[in-house]
Chains A and B, each alone.
Chain A
Amino acid sequence: DQQVKQNSPSLSVQEGRISILNCDYTNSMFDYFLWYKKYPAEGPTFLISISSIKDKNEDGRFTVFLNKSAKHLSLHIVPSQPGDSAVYFCAASAPGDMRFGAGTRLTVKP
């Protein structure tokens, strides 16, 4: 069962514009959500997270939004840079359990 879904396998944006990556989850027990970034031949790197008690968390160019009623979260990157090109994984967590989406490949074109 896929409890975390990233329905867009790929996304292409122009440098300087906003990138929006989306993620949906089904299990209401998840209470902590994370975004990871992955370059080829490397393990996923933690990017940003949000607790279920918040609806927004911002860190520099990266902002994560959480809509609990819709069981949806999104990652906004603004402005997008070519170095942001990578695969982005959404993860949803409860104590001792973390589930990942299948990832979205972001390409930022110069």
Chain B
Amino acid sequence: DTGVSQDPRHKITKRGQNVTFRCDPISEHNRLYWYRQTLGQGPEFLTYFQNEAQLEKSRLLSDRFSAERPKGSFSTLEIQRTEQGDSAMYLCASSLVSGDSYEQYFGPGTRLTVT
């Protein structure tokens, strides 16, 4: 296992279209996180899963956004009716909850451009 992978790496879509991104975490990790990063800012938390359960969602996650992790392995993030303000880098990270260790390992991200 070489780390967290994300697909696609780049997505260009027209406003109003739906898009779906996939994240494959490190295989033994039980937590999976989604973040959004815009230029000049650090990653902003969107949501996270422990196994298949979605435990927390940020208020940044509007009802146009939905995330799933159906079998506790890979996850998808769907954005419906995309808006230009959705243009950003979407990062996925995974971690193994162990003691007081909170290291998250990030994928390369999916860059979304909404035209």
Instruction: State the A residues within 8 Å of B (CB).
Output: 4, 6, 9, 31-32, 34, 36, 41-46, 49, 51, 89, 91, 93, 95-103
Contacts and interface: CB of A to CB of B under 8 A. Distances in A.
Interface stretch (B14-22, B40-48, B64-72, B74-82): B40-48
Given A32-B102, A49-B102, A49-B103, A100 B109 contact: no
Interface in B8-50: 33, 35, 40-45, 48
A100 B108 contact: no
A100 B4 CA distance: 19
Interface of B: 4, 6, 33, 35, 40-45, 48, 55-56, 91, 93, 100-109
A98 B35 CA distance: 10
Given A41-B108, A43-B4, A43-B108, A89 B43 contact: yes
Contact of A98 (B4, B33, B100, B105): B33
Given A96-B56, A98-B102, A100-B44, 18 more contacts: A6-B42, A31-B100, A32-B101, A41-B108, A42-B108, A43-B4, A43-B107, A44-B43, A45-B106, A46-B104, A49-B103, A91-B42, A98-B33, A100-B42, A100-B43, A102-B40, A102-B42, A103-B41
Contacts of A31: 100
Nearest to A101: B42
A72 B56 CA distance: 27
B41 to A, nearest CB: 5
Contacts of B41: 102-103
Nearest to A52: B100
Nearest to B33: A98
A63 B33 CA distance: 27
Contact of A34 (B35, B91, B102, B109): B102
Contacts of B43: 44, 89, 100
B105 A46 contact: yes
20 contacts: A9-B40, A32-B101, A32-B102, A41-B108, A43-B6, A43-B91, A44-B106, A45-B106, A46-B104, A46-B105, A49-B102, A95-B102, A96-B55, A97-B56, A99-B45, A100-B35, A100-B42, A100-B43, A100-B44, A102-B40
